[in-house]
Structure 1
C-alpha cells in the first residue's frame, strides 16, 4: 500500500467480517471454537458437511498478503475498538477456558489465539493505527505473547514454532514503541518499556534506548528494576541478578523466562572457577537459593551434567573444581514455581496477560 495515500478506516464491527465468515463456512474452514454447537451447515464444495459459524465466536483469521486477497476493504477491517474487543475475547473467553494440563487442547487453543492475534496486528498495520488506540491493543496482545512460551513449553515443535513466536513478539514491541512516540499519556508505557528490557536482556541497544526515555518513564520503578537486572547480567553478578528476579511480577518473569537457563549455566561456570578447590564444599541448599531453583534435586542434576562432584555427608554439597567442569547444553526450559507461578497468585493467566484491561 502506498504510504502517501490515506489509510483505510475499518467499518467491520464484528470480530470476523461477514464475507469471510460465510466463505469459510462454505469451504468447511471454520475452527470448532467458532461454530454453533450441534448445528451443521450446508455441504461444502468438497461434498463434506461443515459446521455453522457462530457470529459471536468467529474471529478473522490471518491471511498472507501474497494470497491474492484484498486486505484494505473498509468492510473487512476492524476499527481499534473492535480489535481490542477481539483480543479481550481471545484471552478472557478462549484462553481462559483452556485446561493447561491437557496438551491437546492447549496446542489447539494456542494455535487459534496466535493466528487470530496476527490478524489483529494485520488490521492495525493496514489502517496504520497508532497512538493510544494502537498501544492498548498491542499491550494486550503482548501479554499473551510473553506468557505463552512458559505455558506451551512442553508442546512439540510442530505445535509451537519458537522462532515465529519470537518474531511476533519483536514486531509487536517495535510497533508498540512507535505508538508510544505519538502519545505521551499512555498509562502502561513504563510497564512495557521494562518488559522490553527484560525480554532483550543484555541488549546494549535496548538499554541505550531506555536511557533516552521520557524522564518520568526512565525513573519509574519498573524501568529502574529492569535496568538493574540488565546491569547485573552484564556484570555477571549472578547473586544480585537472581535476587532481583524475585522482585519481578508474573508478567515480567515470563518476559525474562527464556533467559533463565542460560543465566544459570553461566552462574555455575563462574562458581566453578571462583570456588575451585578439592577441599571446598559449597552447600547445595545455598546454591539452590542463589539460583532461584525450585528444588535441590534439580540443582544437583545440573551440577552432575557439568562434571561436578557431589559431596556425601550430612549436608549435601557440590565440589567446584574448574578442571572437571565440562560444557553442557543449558537445561531445557521447565516449570518455575518460585519465579513465575507463585507470583500469579489468585489471578488467572488470562488476567495476567490482559493486565489492567481485564478489570
Structure 2
C-alpha cells in the first residue's frame, strides 16, 4: 500500500462512520437494508418515530464533493481492510440475497450497492491507496459493475443510468491499472487486463497498451483470448468471434455483454448480403448456433423483425433477401442462456463477481 505523506489515513473501523449513521438515522435517510429490525427512535406521542440504524448493516453512502465539505477526516475514512470487508458484505449479504425475479427489490438492491461501492472508491481515492490493497477493493467493485448491466437489463431507464454506470466502470479500471503499475505482482492482473480488453472492444488505445504489458500478463490465457476476440472483431470475422465467445467464462462474457446486440445485428447484415437469393434456404438451427442465441425461436424472431421471410415449405429456414431487409438496429439486451447462465453454473453472483477461485478468501470476512 502506497500512501502520499499528505494523504489522510482512515481510522473508521465500521462500514459507516458513527457520525453519519446517527445523522441519517435522525433524518430518516436510512435505506431499508440498513434498518435494525423492529426498533424505532422516539418514545413519546409527540416525537416522530423513525427506524433505528443497524451498525452491522449501515454502509457509508456516496457524498458529492462540495465547497466547504470535509471528505478527508480520518475518523470518517475507512482503511483498505474495512473497504474490502464492505465490498464483500455488499455482494454476499445484499446482492446475493435479492430476488432477481422481483424488479422492485432488484432495483433497490442495485441502487444501494452501486451507491455504496461508489463511496468505497471515494474513500480509496481520498487516501490514495494503491498497490495490492487498492487492487483487491477495485477488483471486487469492478466485478459488480461488469455483471450488473446483464442482471438489471430489464429495469426501467430511470432506475439504471447506463452513462453513469459506464463512467464508474472506466474510472474504476483507470484506478485499477494504476494499482497494477505500482504493484506489478497482483494475482488477478491478467484477468482484469483481459476484462478491460473485452469491455473496450475494438478500442485501439486499449489494445496498444495491452500489447506493452509485461510478459507473463500479455501471454496469459485470459489476455490472449481477449486479444483474439478483438482481432476477430476488427477483421469482421463474426464466425470466429462467436466461437471465441463460447470459450469466455461468465465474468468475461458479462464484460463483453454490452457489445452483443451490435455484433449480432452486423452478423445478420453480412449473412443477408452473402446469401442474398430467393432460392437459398438458410437453416434456422444453424443460424441460432452461429449467433449463439438460446434457441431457433430467438433466431426466427430476429429475422422476422428485420423483414426476412421464412421458407414457406417448412418454416425452419430463413430466406436472406437484402431488398426486404429492414434496418431496425440491434435487439434489446436479453437473457443469455448459453453465454452467461450455463457458465455461471452453481456459483452465486457474488462468487462470480469476486472471482470463482477466490470463494474461500471472499468469505473470510464473515
* TM-score bucket (shorter structure): over 0.9
CA distance in 2, matches of 1:49, 1:197: 51
Contact 1:28–1:49 (Cα < 8 Å) also in 2: no
Unaligned runs of 5+ in 2: 361-366
Alignment of 1:44-123 (within 5 A): 48-66=48-66, 68-123=68-123
Say whether residues 1:41 and 2:34 are aligned partners: no
CA distance in 1, matches of 2:328, 2:337: 24
Q: Deviations over 1:55-85 (max 9, x none)?
A: 1111000000027431000000000000000
CA distance in 1, matches of 2:4, 2:13: 26
Q: State the partner residue of 2:166.
A: 166
Q: Report the CA distance between 1:314 and its aligned residue.
A: 3.6
Q: State the partner residue of 1:243.
A: 243
CA distance in 1, matches of 2:50, 2:103: 26
CA distance in 2, matches of 1:292, 1:47: 60
CA distance in 2, matches of 1:227, 1:175: 22
SS class of match (1:217): coil
Q: How many residues align?
A: 356
Q: State the partner residue of 2:297.
A: 297
C-alpha change, 1:48 and 1:154, in structure 2 (3 Å) is farther
- For normalisation by structure 1, the TM-score amounts to 0.96
Runs of 4+ that moved beyond 6 A: none
Q: Which moved more, 1:269-278 or 1:336-345?
A: 269-278
CA distance in 2, matches of 1:97, 1:67: 38
Unaligned runs of 5+ in 1: none
SS class of match (1:7): coil
Alignment of 1:93-242 (within 5 A): 93-242=93-242
- For normalisation by structure 2, the TM-score amounts to 0.94
CA distance in 1, matches of 2:32, 2:308: 51
CA distance in 2, matches of 1:173, 1:4: 21
Tell me the C-alpha RMSD between the 2 structures. Answer: 1.7
Contact 1:12–1:76 (Cα < 8 Å) also in 2: yes
Q: Deviations over 1:93-125 (max 9, x none)?
A: 111111101111111111000000000000011
